[in-house]
Chain A
Amino acid sequence: MTEQGPAPGLERGQDRIRFVGAWTLAGAEACLPELEALSSRPGRRLVFDLSGITALDTTGAWLIVRTERRLRAQGARLAREGVPERYRTLFHELEQRAPGSLRPPPPVRDGLLAALGRPIVKGFDELFAFLAFTGEAFVQLARLLPRPQRIRWRALFADMEQAGARALGIVGLLSFLMGVVIAYQAAVQLRLYGADLYVADLVGLSMVRELGPLLAAIIVAGRTGSAYAAQIGTMKVNEEIDALRTLGVSPLDVLVVPKMLSLAVSLPLLAVFGIVAGVCGGMVMTGLLLDLSAGVFLDRVADAVSLRSFLLGVGKAPVFALIIALIGCFQGFRVEGSAASVGRHTTLAVVQSIFLVIVADAQFSVFFSWLGI
């Protein structure tokens, strides 16, 4: 991109090739085919006459040098003449710095077996690493609980605000809509049997036992689990995690334990809020569709939802919270080096935590039915 000048070109004589014009990157595309078209037979004498060159940069010089090399390899006896004084060292430098081929060795590719095995081994690695991480986090938690003054309360409360209080709006809105949807489906079906009243039972129980906690957990996984992974991952890329370690502070203490505790408190509260919003949604929808007053609806819900159902429903939330916090933080710590890696692990954090939350929910169902509650 140095000085613009006349376009680069070749004047081809008998055994003399004269280079004219500005041999710079700007003209490189244009003159490359012409250079590549040059060829020679063994023993031929050739002169590259560079006296017509008006401007030269490293790109242009390299194009000339590589062509010379190619022709010499074909057996030409090649000489360079008329190099303007100020470009001598550039050519000298190129020949010094770039002897032989410049192509770096190609990356090693996996064979079929390795390509098959590597992800499996990686998967197991990740599983074991996650188990180790979980164990470590709980050990650290157990160490801190007897000494509450060492818990990072400031970080914990800041996180509760971010992960809990600020999620109230979205959790409330989505739960409300979920209540509307369930009430609508239930009303349409139950009206056929004249069992209008049971809409309230259905909305209340499904929100309390399943949908309230699950919906809150999924929203928090998307909102907060991803934030955990991105925050820790970026800190890892910036070597902030290493800095913490060398300052004698456990990253688990500073980053992971406050997040576990904060989510374990916030998520159940969010779930309760979601349940209330969902029941309201159901109530509004039933009021519109059926001849059921709000008072009657709420009485039915109160009858249908026992304290036991409430505890079993909301009691799942802290478990979901720990899953989300642990996966988010774990994926953050798995980040290696690049910004792309932060993105990849953030995605993984969300996908894995939602997956595990639903698996855990299913296990709770199996477990509760086995206990008969």
Chain B
Amino acid sequence: MQAPVIEIRDLVTRFGSHVVHDGLSLEVRRGEVLALVGGSGSGKTTLLREMILLTRPERGSLRLFGQEATGLDEARARALRRRFGVLFQHGALFSGLTVLENVAWPLVEHTRLPAAVREEMAALRLRMVGLDPEAARLRPSALSGGMIKRAALARALVMDPELLFLDEPTSGLDPASADAFDSLLLDLRRWLGLTVVMITHDLDSLWRVADRVAVLAEGRIVAVAPLCELLHHEHPAVRAYFEGPRARRRIGEC
């Protein structure tokens, strides 16, 4: 069995007196799609920010690709960051650059490929995420929410990362785009052996792409299991999350 890609032990996070994570542990296996669910404000984004080395937890250990990742110096953190891609909740495209420049930006920073090749790579990612070539020259302010999501995904993919973090990737997408997004994710995983950690509220995504679902509640991961098992889980927070008729409908398909 391979070492987990991400290994979190006894993580504690606090903002002032507000305890967000209280002894949280989680493992993400190589090649899996792990979905992170939980109520609003339960600390999903904060956990993601800790995994991508933006926020430092107060206590606990975080290992990425088998290396200890808390308290890294900037150079080591940068080397680690090159190995993963991040899709932020609101896209976080650079507003001063065109879409194509946004996507090509990591290549400009981290490689010495010629400009023409860089542009091709960026354009290829835009095609892969299903964005019109006409949109490539637009600035982010001229894009719709769904287009921003796709462009941001293209940017997260351009370095061919081993690990991809997605914060609510399908929220704000129309159903067809959300389905296409799920398919893309599955394809990418098959081709590249990609490991994915995604925060999502989209039951269809959970159903289709997530290998395991982790439920965050009370500052801990209260359950990690394939969706079908979670639907029968007895923890009250898990039950509350999957109580609604939308989730119940899925039970039949298990």
Instruction: Write the residues of chain A forming the contact surface with B, with a CB cutoff of 8 angstroms.
Output: 1-3, 24-25, 28-29, 32, 56-59, 62, 66, 86-87, 89-90, 93-94, 97-98, 102-105, 107, 237, 336-341
Which residues of B sit under 8 angstroms from A56, Cβ to Cβ? 191
Complex Cα distance A316/B181, Å?
62
Query: Closest 7 interchain pairs by CB?
Result: A337-B141, A338-B95, A340-B96, A57-B160, A102-B123, A90-B191, A104-B136
Q: Are the C-beta atoms of A102 and B160 separated by less than 8 Å?
A: no
Q: Is B100 an interface residue (CB 8 A)?
A: yes
B95 touches A2 (CB 8 A): no
What's the nearest-Cβ distance from chain B to residue A198, in Å? 56
Indicate whether A338 sits within 8 Å of B124 (C-beta atoms), given known contacts A25-B160, A28-B111, A32-B113: no
Secondary structure type dominating chain B contacts: helix
Report whether over half of chain A's contact residues are helix, strand or loop; otherwise say mixed: helix
Which of B82, B133, B162, B192 has the most chain A CB atoms inside 10 A of its CB?
B192
Of B114, B124, B141, B162, most buried by chain A (CB within 10 Å of CB) is B124
Whether the Cβ atoms of A58 and B128 lie closer than 8 Å is yes
Asked whether, in the complex, the Cβ of A102 is within 8 Å of the Cβ of B120, the reply is yes
Q: Name the one of A1, A104, A341 contacting B160, with C-beta atoms under 8 angstroms.
A: A1
Q: Which residue of A lies closest to B117 (CB)?
A: A32
With A25-B160, A338-B139 known as contacts, the answer to whether A93 contacts B187 (CB < 8 A) is yes
Report Cα–Cα, A2/B157, bound state, in Å: 11
Known: A2-B160, A2-B162. Is A25-B111 also a contact (CB below 8 A)? yes
Select from chain A the residue with minimum beta-carbon distance to B85. A1
Known: A1-B162, A2-B193, A104-B133. 5 other contacts (CB 8 A): A89-B191, A93-B191, A102-B127, A103-B116, A104-B100
Total B residues in contact with A, Cβ cutoff 8 Å: 37
Beta-carbon nearest neighbor of B127 in chain A: A97
Given A58-B124, A59-B160, A338-B96, also A2-B142 (CB < 8 A): no
Asked if B141 and A338 sit within 8 Å, CB to CB, the answer is yes
Closest to A88 in B: B191
Is B190 an interface residue when CB atoms closer than 8 A count as contact?
A: yes
Q: Which of chain B's residues has its CB closest to A59's CB?
A: B160
Q: Are B83 and A1 in contact (CB under 8 A)?
A: yes
Smallest beta-carbon distance B153→chain A, Å: 13
Question: Within the assembled complex, what's the spacing in Å between the Cα atoms of A29 and B112?
Answer: 7
CB distance from A39 to the nearest CB of B (A): 18
CB atoms of A93 and B190 under 8 A apart:
no
* Cα(A90)–Cα(B160), bound, Å: 13
Let me know if A89 and B120 touch, CB within 8 A. no
Task: Find chain B residues with CB under 8 A from A66 CB.
Answer: 120
Contacts of B162 in A (CB 8 A): 1-3
Which residues of the partner chain B approach A104 to less than 8 Å between Cβ atoms? 100, 119, 123, 133-134, 136-137
Q: Are A97 and B124 in contact (CB under 8 A)?
A: yes
- Chain A nearest CB from B37 CB (Å) reads 28
From 82 to 110 in chain B, residues with beta carbon under 8 angstroms from any chain A beta carbon are 82-83, 95-96, 100
Q: Which residue of A lies closest to B163 (CB)?
A: A1
- Between A32, A57, A341, the greatest number of chain B beta carbons within 10 A of the residue's beta carbon is seen for A57
Q: Are B127 and A28 in contact (CB under 8 A)?
A: no
28 contacts between A and B (CB under 8 A): A1-B83, A2-B160, A2-B193, A25-B160, A28-B113, A29-B113, A32-B113, A32-B114, A32-B117, A57-B192, A58-B192, A59-B121, A62-B120, A62-B121, A86-B190, A86-B191, A87-B191, A89-B187, A93-B187, A93-B191, A97-B124, A102-B120, A102-B123, A103-B123, A104-B119, A104-B134, A337-B141, A341-B95
A1 and B113 within 8 A (CB): no
What residues of B have a CB within 8 angstroms of the CB of A94 in the complex? 124
Whole-angstrom distance between the alpha carbons of A32 and B191 in the complex? 22
Question: Distance (Å) between the CB of B239 and the closest chain A CB?
Answer: 37
User: Measured between C-beta atoms, what is the minimum distance from A127 to chain B in Å?
Assistant: 25
CB-defined contacts of B141 to chain A, threshold 8 Å: 237, 336-338
Q: Is B57 an interface residue (CB 8 A)?
A: no
In the bound assembly, the distance between CA atoms of A181 and B157 in angstroms comes to: 61
Residues of chain B lying within 8 A (CB to CB) of residue A58: 124-125, 128, 157, 160, 191-192
Nearest-neighbor residue (CB-CB) of A56 within chain B: B191
The verdict on B169 contacting chain A, using a C-beta distance below 8 Å, is no
Query: How far, in whole Å, are A81 and B3 apart by their CA atoms in the complex?
Result: 34
CB of A25 within 8 A of CB of B159, answer: yes
Most buried by B among A28, A59, A66, A107: A59
Shortest Cβ gap from A90 to chain B (Å):
4
Q: How far is the CA of A90 from the CA of B142 in the complex (A)?
A: 31
CB distance from B111 to the nearest CB of A (A): 6
A98 touching B95, Cβ below 8 Å? no
Residues of A contacting B157 in the complex (Cβ-Cβ under 8 angstroms) = 58
Cβ B120 vs Cβ A1 within 8 A:
no
